Chains A and B, each alone.
Chain A
């Protein structure tokens, strides 16, 4: 039985590319207003899992439920409308826009002007546009980039690009946010800022799934963690359970015999 506060459920979701099984019978439950980690070595299938949940790739078999409704075959834009939004492993922005414009694209579904309105309406278009811009500013303020709103995104540092992407995702007002390696390329200060930002958002009711390599970040932030290797789930549990799971340690650091040393390594990584 699904507990009432579960917002996202994956049931034996599988994705094959030709002969290769990128995601194999992935099942997981994500609780509302929590941070859920999805970790695993390179090539484990985490980003593919994100593509499946966000709809950029089609599911071969299995089912994805969001708020109790199957979204398995829904178009990606429809999933955004129902409250699922994602970021990418390397930030995908719109390189010829300004920071404000990029975040404003996140308000697309919240602006009621259509093709004709965009050409022929005067007052409504202006009002809607003003709403879009002021909302975009609010989200820029949340990530602390309001001062750079007029800068072309092409001129931003890597860390700022990440933040703009997060602001753009938040601007869609999702109830589930999928963050793909949100800390890679960030310095420790920026990482800490992002951590605080996410905690703050969760406190306001947002659910987050994190694909992450920074163990310290994951262990410190997540309530629950799912570990994948070669497309399959090898462990699922609280950060403490994961840190001591022999399968996880083996997956990260080779054979199970080296368990003791690996565990220490995992712990020490936490301490870095």
Chain B
């Protein structure tokens, strides 16, 4: 089988990892916490997308993405406001925060299992099984949409953070609490808004990933690989997360043939640990 085709699918999966990894990084920067529930928010987003498709079959797929993202973002906002902020305000330790987000992840995945059932769900839309031709290669029809969404979201985030008051405020709140308070930014709001934004991006990734595979309550485990991507590219850096995601996506697809598939999961983590030992702040990390 040819290399370019594999590269394409690696790229597509890599985009999904990237989007989830961007969510990790945003939350880490804004709230200083590693959100172990990020993968589960992606899963919830994918299920929300499923429900939207079922209840409004006429809605075009590209509109499902923003709707699901908005709904999941609201869920993220509520989680941040109700569960995370009190802990952050109290100055809780990293250990505590990690455990808290793990707990939220358990609630989300098992809650989803009760709502949507234990069996995997497949988006009942033609897109799930359609292919298109790129050059001489057949590829799933959702790939271009993934690439496009990825570009739109990254450009959008860049504009948000550099051009808009909200984005500047969020950045200020993340980097320098004093400046932020001078700007009149409420840190609580800024944290929750960043978390909501990250949840929305995760949901978009989930909805776009669903047609490639299926949606199930244990889909959040994919988030752990996305976390490795974020770490690989340097946690907290959005370009780093994008690159980390693509590296893991392509590496997994190409590496699958080269190395033993029995130890695939181990290799991802050994790679991450190895890179961190050589370069403790990740590929895109600055020293110190």
Q: Interface on A for B, CB 8 Å cutoff?
A: 17-18, 95
Contacts and interface: CB of A to CB of B under 8 A. Distances in A.
Interface of A is mostly: loop
Contacts of A18: 286-288
6 contacts: A17-B287, A17-B288, A18-B286, A18-B287, A18-B288, A95-B91
Interface of B: 91, 286-288
A17 B287 CA distance: 7
Nearest to A15: B288
A17 B288 CA distance: 6
A89 B49 CA distance: 50
B144 to A, nearest CB: 39
Give the 4 A-B CB pairs with smallest separation, nearest first. Answer: A17-B288, A18-B287, A18-B286, A18-B288
Contacts of A95: 91
A95 B288 CA distance: 27
Contacts of B287: 17-18
A81 B128 CA distance: 67
Nearest to A96: B93
Contacts of A17: 287-288
A100 to B, nearest CB: 22
A151 B288 CA distance: 37
A95 B93 CA distance: 11
A32 to B, nearest CB: 33
A95 B96 CA distance: 14
Nearest to B286: A18
Contacts of B91: 95
A249 to B, nearest CB: 27
Contacts of B286: 18
A38 B119 CA distance: 67
B95 to A, nearest CB: 13
A17 B91 CA distance: 27
B112 to A, nearest CB: 36
Nearest to A20: B288
Nearest to B91: A95
A239 B287 CA distance: 38
A95 B287 CA distance: 30
Nearest to A16: B288
A95 B92 CA distance: 11
Nearest to A17: B288
A190 B110 CA distance: 55
